[in-house]
Amino acid sequence: MGNRRGIYIHIPFCVRKCNYCAFLSFEAETSPRTEYAEAVVKEIARRGEELGHPDIDTIYVGGGTPSVLDVSQMRDIMHEVGKAFRIKEGAEITIEANPATLGRKDGVMLAKMQAYKYMGFNRLSMGVQSMDNDRLHFLGRIHTPENIERDMDIVRRKGFYNVNLDMMFSVPSESKEDAMEDLEKILRFDPEHISCYSLQIEEGTPFAAMMESGEISEIPDEEDRDTYHKICARLREAGYEHYEISNFAKAGYRSQHNSLYWNMDDYIGIGLGASGFVNGVRYKNTSDFDEYFKAIDEGRFPVEEEHVNTAFDNISEAVFTGLRRVEGITYEDAMDAYMRAKDADLFLDSKKPEEAFWEIFEEAKEEAEDYASRGLLMIDGNGLRLTEQGIDISNSIMSLFV
Ligand code: SF4
């Protein structure tokens, strides 16, 4: 825990906003893409210099839709990453690419994929969401199932053999059978990794307005959980490890970058609205383009919030994120996160990790044991983990440790 380092680069542009989207992204056509790519290059150079050009284990370019940037803009960004940091041999380097954004003609798309390979990308994450045309349209996605088929064909032809496909379930008016049909179609692509998310209706989105007017309604919790467990069972049967609440991977293909967040490792956030966790400090960049460009022009970091984690923050976050993984969190890793903060109570270091852990979470112990007696949480001499039933109420269980 805490020994690796990653970089996250945010590209806040999409062809069009999806109806459920609460991510920081703007329509590409009317956004300052060129100026942004140039500013990101400068921020990368500055961070690299500030941190002394450290070793990097993972890079994740996400969004938004990074594949809407021109190849030359992405090349400049990745070139700067290579100059500012020491990318370790075998580093996982991911780009998010939505279907129908890689080029209209096969030749253009093949060239773009080739360029991504030259830039060092070795993992691709695609927002498929559904394989049903009506549902894709309802979600506000710009692609069709045919686009996905074609894109996946070219992705494989260009030699990308570490691919994640995102799938969404519990879309209003979707039945359990619809979701399972989507999953079967996605499985036909034989992706190395699948992320399955249940649709959450977020404030300020077109879906939230539609829900308010009674046009749509959320899928009831019980049905949502039932679909989730069916998906988990089917993916296990298809040979995927269910290694985190929403993530499934073939052996050897767990997302290294996401694991870094869940392990409380350092990650450097670059770009509009990006968050980072470096040397015990959490920071968040501004989400305002003008502020972002101004800070970069003035030679500052575009950071709007900074927080030095206390020892309790560290252990609380370690438990919170650790419980998302099927392996859960060990007392040893939790205490390791605790002891890394400057204000840690050094006396606890002389105790056994299990004892020290429960001394910190003394008030949570009784309730945690109650969850354990109901088969929702496993507690043993090594640590704790959620059971599959416990995942259904993960937020309540995790909140005991906040
Ligand atoms: S593609 Fe993703 S980031 Fe872009 S609008 Fe849709 S959900 Fe949001």
CA of 209 to the centre of ligand 1 (A): 18
Q: State whether the beta carbon of 195 lies less than 6 angstroms from ligand 1.
A: no
Q: State whether the beta carbon of 302 lies less than 6 angstroms from ligand 1.
A: no
Runs of H (alpha helix) within 213-352: 221-237, 256-262, 289-297, 311-322, 331-339
Q: State whether the beta carbon of 99 lies less than 6 angstroms from ligand 1.
A: no
Q: Is residue 375 part of a domain?
A: yes
Q: Are residues 208 and 70 part of one domain?
A: yes
Q: Are residues 244 and 337 part of one domain?
A: no
Q: Are residues 80 and 192 part of one domain?
A: yes
pTM, two decimal places = 0.95
Q: State whether the beta carbon of 127 lies less than 6 angstroms from ligand 1.
A: yes
- Find all residues with CB under 8 Å of 265, minimum gap 6, and list them: 1, 2, 3, 4, 5, 6, 57
Q: Is residue 114 part of a domain?
A: yes
CA of 25 to the centre of ligand 1 (A): 7
Q: Is residue 326 part of a domain?
A: yes
DSSP for 383-402? EEEE-HHHHTTHHHHHGGG-
Q: Are residues 231 and 94 part of one domain?
A: yes
Q: What is the largest CA-CA distance in the chain?
A: 64
Burial of 120 (0-12, 13-18, 19+ CB in 10 A): middle
Q: Are residues 350 and 213 part of one domain?
A: no
Q: Is residue 292 part of a domain?
A: no
> Which residue minimizes the CA distance to atom 8 of ligand 1?
21
- Find all residues with CB under 8 Å of 285, minimum gap 6, and list them: 269, 270, 271, 272, 273, 274, 275, 276, 292, 301, 302, 303, 304
CA of 373 to the centre of ligand 1 (A): 41
Q: How many residues are there in the chain?
A: 402
Q: Are residues 327 and 234 part of one domain?
A: no
Q: Is residue 275 part of a domain?
A: no
Q: Is residue 294 part of a domain?
A: no
For 200: left if phi > 0, alpha if psi spans -120 to 50, otherwise beta; the answer is: beta
Q: State whether the beta carbon of 65 lies less than 6 angstroms from ligand 1.
A: yes
Q: Are residues 188 and 40 part of one domain?
A: yes
Q: Are residues 316 and 197 part of one domain?
A: no
Q: State whether the beta carbon of 22 lies less than 6 angstroms from ligand 1.
A: no
CA of 24 to the centre of ligand 1 (A): 9
Q: Is residue 285 part of a domain?
A: no
Q: Is residue 339 part of a domain?
A: yes
> Which residue minimizes the CA distance to atom 2 of ligand 1?
64
Show the domain range for 85: 5-262
CATH number (domain holding residue 171): 3.80.30.20
> Which residue minimizes the CA distance to atom 3 of ligand 1?
64
The amino acid that residue 271 corresponds to is G
CA of 375 to the centre of ligand 1 (A): 37
Q: State whether the beta carbon of 384 lies less than 6 angstroms from ligand 1.
A: no
Q: State whether the beta carbon of 25 lies less than 6 angstroms from ligand 1.
A: yes
Q: State whether the beta carbon of 26 lies less than 6 angstroms from ligand 1.
A: no
Q: Are residues 153 and 55 part of one domain?
A: yes
Q: State whether the beta carbon of 97 lies less than 6 angstroms from ligand 1.
A: no
CA of 96 to the centre of ligand 1 (A): 11
CATH number (domain holding residue 338): 1.10.10
Q: Are residues 318 and 249 part of one domain?
A: no
> Total domain count for the chain?
2
Domain end: 262, 282, 297, which one? 262
pLDDT at position 103 is 81
pLDDT at position 106 is 81
Q: Are residues 179 and 327 part of one domain?
A: no
Around Cβ 220, how many Cβ atoms within 10 Å?
A: 10
Q: State whether the beta carbon of 205 lies less than 6 angstroms from ligand 1.
A: no
- pLDDT tens sequence for the chain (402 residues): 667 999 999 999 999 999 999 999 999 999 999 999 999 999 999 999 999 999 999 999 999 999 999 999 999 999 999 999 999 999 999 999 988 888 878 888 889 999 999 999 999 999 999 999 999 999 999 999 999 999 999 999 989 999 999 999 999 989 999 999 999 999 999 999 999 999 999 999 999 999 999 999 999 999 999 999 999 999 999 999 999 999 999 999 999 999 998 888 999 999 999 999 999 999 999 999 999 999 999 999 999 999 999 999 999 999 999 999 999 999 999 999 999 999 999 999 899 999 999 999 999 999 999 999 999 999 999 999 999 999 999 999 999 999
CA of 48 to the centre of ligand 1 (A): 29
Q: State whether the beta carbon of 98 lies less than 6 angstroms from ligand 1.
A: yes
